[in-house]
Chain A
Amino acid sequence: SQKIEQNSEALNIQEGKTATLTCNYTNYSPAYLQWYRQDPGRGPVFLLLIRENEKEKRKERLKVTFDTTLKQSLFHITASQPADSATYLCALVRGSGNTGKLIFGQGTTLQVKP
């Protein structure tokens, strides 16, 4: 079955450093992959989408890579700040077509220390 895995251990880094989060998937060939941010007690918020024919996507301090050979996406936050502390979720479209159904990883919690 389709499966997505994120590192369940929390990632602790110092302010100013680059945070790198990993998303691996199996039994799947997605057309694109999404990343969401979730703060405690709130719903996930969409950050970035990367398509299978895009190696890299950037948005301000965020960078996402997508390696369809390794079946892996990396999510980078450069010059990290304490305000970046949150749980980050990766997601793939379930099945084919555009139906709004996503499969989510379990999320990785990032803690940025001042």
Chain B
Amino acid sequence: NAGVTQTPKFQVLKTGQSMTLQCAQDMNHEYMSWYRQDPGMGLRLIHYSVGAGITDQGEVPNGYNVSRSTTEDFPLRLLSAAPSQTSVYFCASSKRGTGTTANVLTFGAGSRLTVL
């Protein structure tokens, strides 16, 4: 059981370049989300998905696109990278339900992105 796997771990981009951060989970979790973490700002929600084919915006969605074609995968796309998108990105998943595991997130190890 790998949990939540993110690739790449590190990436350097030039302004205007595009790239995709990959996220895959093998726990059969229904919900997946992307957060960015910046010093002093905490984790902020970018986009989330409650199931295959369903995505919605979080707190800071501008400049990012997502899609969810399968339960397992939830890639995050930067169409035209900007220096303000320099951050550490975390993918997370959680199980649908109302018990004690509801809304408990399992995080990936993170992807550190630098935009020059």
Contact = CB atoms under 8 A, between A and B. Distances in A.
B106 A100 contact: no
A101 B33 CA distance: 7
A49 B96 CA distance: 16
Interface string B66-106: 00000000000000000000000010111011101011111
A43 B96 contact: no
A34 interface: yes
B42 A105 contact: yes
Residue from the set B42, B48, B93, B104 with the largest chain A CB neighbour count within 10 Å = B42
B107 A98 contact: no
Residue from the set A100, A101, A102, A105 with the largest chain B CB neighbour count within 10 Å = A100
Interface of A: 4, 8, 32, 34, 36, 41-46, 49, 89, 91, 93-94, 98-107
